[in-house]
Amino acid sequence: MRLDRKASSPSPPPAPLLSARQLAFAWSVMASIALLAWVLVVDQARDMGVEPGTMGMDVPLFLLLWLVMMIAMMFPSVAPVALTWARAIGRRSPTRVVRVTRTAQFVGGYLLTWTAFGLIAYGLLAWTGALVDEHPGAGRWIGAGAFLVAGLYQFGPWKDLCLRHCRSPMGQLVRYAGFRPRARDLRVGAHHGAYCVGCCWGLMVVLVPLGVMNVLAMAAVAVVIFVEKLWRLGPAFSRVVGAAFLALAVLSLFQPWLLPGLIPPESPMTEMLRP
């Protein structure tokens, strides 16, 4: 019995979806956008300071600043998934214009999900700000509650589910390839953004007691998100962070300096903290 040489010969390795040069360019674009966003955030934070609530911003201005913050904090960790999908787009789209348009739809869908969460964040900040203005002593309980919720969520099943989704870009690519063609890239971005919100909303909650415009706190949260999603021991690191939040929940009841985002301006507590 003769074997067909074509059938028995090993299949050639799959061609790369993007060349090394194209991949390096895509990484540099993501990094440049995130760096620009950080520059804008730092410049804005310098003028605003750290205060409770929405700091006098209305919804449109807050959402604009929120989107810049999300680009700065999330783009480094979302880059592997975005580039994986961009490589798939590159294989199926013959022209640069089509590739850029489809990639922009993916990013737009991702940011749309974070914008929706930004509306919830605005309501939470407005409520806590009003409560602290009326009852300054409530700040420590709000702060302790925020750290407690964030810490417990780090150990929960929803966190684990969403983190596993965000850590598996190739698995997502296979799943997303089955989406219907109409507005596929927009829906893929929104779908991944929803899992990203599910993974990170607890980390964002700690910005209420630490200050939503606290640049050091934002940078620390961004590092935690990056390590959780990209490090080999990310899930274990996530639980270490959860334990740290639970410890802060207890300590913040007795150490109000841990809650700069809940200290009303010109309050007696502020005067005590001044050098």
Q: Check residue 275 and give its pLDDT.
A: 46
Q: Check residue 250 and give its pLDDT.
A: 95
Contact between 42 and 98 under an 8 Å Cβ cutoff? The reply is: no
Q: Check residue 196 and give its pLDDT.
A: 92
Q: Check residue 206 and give its pLDDT.
A: 94
Count the Cβ atoms, other than its own, within 10 Å of residue 269: 17
Question: 0.85 cut: is pTM over it?
Answer: no
Q: Where are the beta strands (DSSP E) in 134-265?
A: none
CA distance 88 to 177: 9
Residue located via tokens 């684990």? 160
Q: With CA atoms as reference, report the closest residue to 188 among 84, 32, 59, 96.
A: 84
Tens place of pLDDT per residue across the chain (275 aa): 444 444 444 433 333 444 566 566 667 777 888 899 999 999 888 877 777 878 888 999 999 999 999 999 998 888 777 777 777 766 666 677 777 777 788 889 999 999 999 999 999 999 998 898 888 888 899 999 999 999 999 999 999 999 988 887 666 666 666 666 677 788 888 988 999 999 999 999 999 999 888 999 999 999 999 999 888 898 999 999 999 999 999 999 998 888 888 887 664 444 444 44
Q: Check residue 26 and give its pLDDT.
A: 66
Q: With CA atoms as reference, report the closest residue to 78 among 226, 215, 184.
A: 226
